[in-house]
Amino acid sequence: MEKIKFYVFGEVGEYDEYNPYNILSKENVAEIIYLIAINEPYSLDKSIIKNKLNIDSNELSNIIHSLNLINAIDTENDTYKLNFPIFLEKDIEALDLKLNEVGMEICSKIVRLKDSIVSKLNEYESFDYKRSLYHIICDNIFDGIAMNFFADRNVFSISKEQPGDRNYIIVGYENTHKLESYSNNLLCSSNNYRTKDFIFNSFGDCNGDRKDVYRFFRQVDKTNNGISKFENLNSSYNRLNEHMNRSIMNDCGNLIIKVSKGFNDYRNYEEYDRELFEFLKNINYINIDDKYKISIKVPIFDKNHKTVVNEISEIILPNIEDIVKCFFSNIELNSKDITSIKHKVDIKEISNELWHQVFGVTNEHLVKCGFVEEPYSNLIEGRYLQSFYIK
């Protein structure tokens, strides 16, 4: 099993010697990065890596060259240090209490702002305000607007210019069950399936096989990739199929709008529309009762939603700004044993990734105290709630 799992966010460019996916997927790369990570910066030399991994000298030199080429490591006299955030199991264990404390503090601050926040929700009458706030705060603000808000204030880096005229950020996690379980259980994962006019969204944890539109069609693509022995044929069909699927889901979106306007008698629709309704029912966007009445099970956010989200973000983010800044400043000053801090990785890159842990923990507290709706929970699917956006 590879020691490190890599995640890349941004524009990686063509699949060449500067492409991080190309380099990081090579044999022995994860193991080399792991060895560098668990040692002090510039303390591990090439001969030690060669002996520990029983790797050919030329192969090792080529890997080191490639990692230098994409700026993943720095080299000094054949010794190395990391150049991107990596989190080992021991790091998250060391940060766990601090993450919980800052999550509770942010949650408490938001709860005290309840009246101002709820006053912005007048147009959302079809669902309880807690359901709307689940999507607005936990997803739209924390996993969206907040990123730019804190980047503008020099707290995060949301992009990084890289060699080869690329712009991306690499993050690595130690590949252990405990660390995966911790990350997967946080409410910080947004899935969005976009069509011409609509977005089918779900937000929740990663602890299961969520039954949502995005993951369903991703599974369809994955299955189709191996449907025959002819890879090029599979790929060309998949591209055609993707166009068809997005057209189908756009038709589904139009039906949701129609039902929301009162056209909710299943018997009045033609066969194709009925088949679309059956799909929407099976993926939990609608219900059809024994009297053939169709009801919508998810919030519909229209074009005015962005204004509401912005207004609520203007209430929340300035009020939690000092808490967030103080948290990351303390991490930099008082957590010298954290792998990425020890390797002097840019704190703004570290903060970008840790923010997901911070707001994931905050979301847990917001659910626990009843400020936002508790997500649907299923052993197979994990925890999540769905929503529907009109572009």
What is d(CA 321, CA 332) in angstroms, rounded to the nearest whole number? 17
DSSP 372: S
Instruction: Please give the pLDDT value at position 235.
Output: 84
Q: Report pLDDT digits (tens) over 20-62.
A: 999 999 999 999 999 999 999 999 999 999 999 999 999 999 9
**Single-letter code of the amino acid located at 309:** V
Instruction: Give me the long-range contacts of 332-340 (CB less than 8 A, separation at least 24).
Output: 335/94, 335/95, 335/98, 337/94, 338/91, 338/94, 338/95, 339/37, 339/38, 339/82, 339/86, 339/87, 339/88, 339/90, 339/91, 340/82, 340/85, 340/86, 340/87, 340/91
Residue 216 tokens, joined: 């369903």
pLDDT band for 218, please (50, 70, 90 cuts): confident
DSSP 293: B
pLDDT exceeds 60 at position 138: yes
Could you list the beta-strand ranges (E) of 78-139.
Answer: 79-82, 86-87
Give residues with Cβ within 8 angstroms of 369, minimum separation 6.
Answer: 107, 111
Q: What is the pTM of this model?
A: 0.89
Residue 15 tokens, joined: 């699949």
What is d(CA 299, CA 255) in angstroms, rounded to the nearest whole number? 15
Domain architecture of the chain: domains with CATH: 4-83 (1.10.10.10)
Percent of the chain with pLDDT over 70: 99
Instruction: Please give the pLDDT value at position 310.
Output: 97
Question: What is the CB neighbour count within 10 angstroms for residue 355?
Answer: 22
Please name which of 148, 166, 324, 165 lies closest in space to residue 157, comparing C-alpha atoms: 148
Residue 191 tokens, joined: 């899935």
pLDDT band for 176, please (50, 70, 90 cuts): very high
Per-residue pLDDT, averaged over 297-314, amounts to 95
In DSSP terms, which residues pair with 161 in a beta bridge? 167
What is d(CA 48, CA 279) in angstroms, rounded to the nearest whole number? 57
Residue 71 tokens, joined: 């700026």
Instruction: Please give the pLDDT value at position 1.
Output: 53
From residue 268, alpha-carbon distances to 102, 256, 261, 263, 272 in Å are: 53, 15, 14, 8, 12
Phi, psi of 297 (to 5 degrees): -100, 0
Pair 181, 93: CB distance under 8 Å: no
Residue 188 tokens, joined: 């910080």
